[in-house]
Structure 1
Amino acid sequence: MKAKSIRITKIFSFDSAHQLEDYAGKCRQLHGHTYKLEVTVKGEMGESGMVFDFSILKKVVTERVISQLDHKYLNEVFDFNPTSENMVVWIFEQIDGCFEGQPCVLEAVKLWETATSYAELRRSDVEI
Structure 2
Amino acid sequence: MAKIRITKQFTFETAHALYGYDGKCRNVHGHSYKLDVTVIGEPITDRNNVKCGMVIDFGDLKKIVKTEVVDRMDHAILLNKETPHIELAEHLKSSGHDVILVDYQPTSENMIADFASRISSKLNADIKLHSLKLRETGTAFAEWFASDNA
Q: Decide: shared fold, TM above 0.5.
A: yes
Offset of 1:100 from its aligned partner? 3.0
Identity %: 46
1:50 aligned to 48, 54, 59, which one?
54
More off after superposition, 32-41 vs 118-127: 118-127
Matching residue of 1:119: 142
Offset of 1:8 from its aligned partner? 0.5
Listed one character per residue, the Cα deviations across residues 44-91 of structure 1 (whole Å, up to 9, x for unaligned) are: 122222111000000011011111111100114212110000000000
Offset of 1:29 from its aligned partner? 1.4
Matching residue of 2:63: 59
Runs of 5+ consecutive residues of structure 2 not aligned to the other structure? 46-51, 80-98
Q: In structure 1, how many angstroms separate the alpha carbons of the residues matched to 2:9 and 2:111?
A: 16
Matched AA of 2:136: E
Q: In structure 2, how many angstroms separate the alpha carbons of the residues matched to 1:39 and 1:125?
A: 16
Runs of 5+ consecutive residues of structure 1 not aligned to the other structure? none
TM-score by length of 2: 0.78
Matched AA of 1:85: E
TM-score by length of 1: 0.91
Matched AA of 1:106: L
Q: What is the alpha-carbon root mean square deviation over aligned residues?
A: 1.3
Matched AA of 2:116: F
